[in-house]
Amino acid sequence: MDLQLKKISVAIKKISTKNFDKIDDSFDLIALVNIDGREENISKRYKYGIKMEDLAADFLKMIKDKFSGSNYDSYTFNHNIIVIEKFDETEEKIMAFARKINDKVKDFKEYKRLSYFEMSQVMNNLSMNI
């Protein structure tokens, strides 16, 4: 049996929000990632109120899981080792972005004069370069 390990480098370039839903205060968190030279968008739905640390850890784990597939046949076992570039810095920036999202939703809840359209405009256009 042959074991083959492949290192996959993942750089998160930008994170943003889309599809804000005022009813349950949920949104899609979208990351533009560069995987070994090719770009791809990855998204996951979250709800307002999730702890920043939990959101960052879950989102980074989801990205790693997406690309860490293993393959096995009778002669070889292939496994991908995922390395997120600047992991600590990226995690901190995702937590800061989660804080920004939570602050915006909290402001909307306290200041009820904004229309759903205005709230959606703001929430669907939040972004941060990493």
pLDDT at 3: 77
Tell me how far apart the alpha carbons of residues 51 and 76 are, in angstroms, rounded to a whole number.
41
Task: Name residues whose C-beta falls within 8 Å of residue 43's C-beta, 6 or more positions apart in sequence.
Answer: 18, 28, 29, 30, 31
Digit-by-digit pLDDT tens for the chain (130 residues) are 677 788 889 999 999 999 998 888 899 999 999 998 899 999 999 999 899 999 999 999 999 988 887 666 666 677 788 899 999 999 999 999 999 999 988 888 777 676 777 778 888 989 999 9
The predicted model scores a pTM of: 0.84
Q: Where are the domains of the chain?
A: 2-129
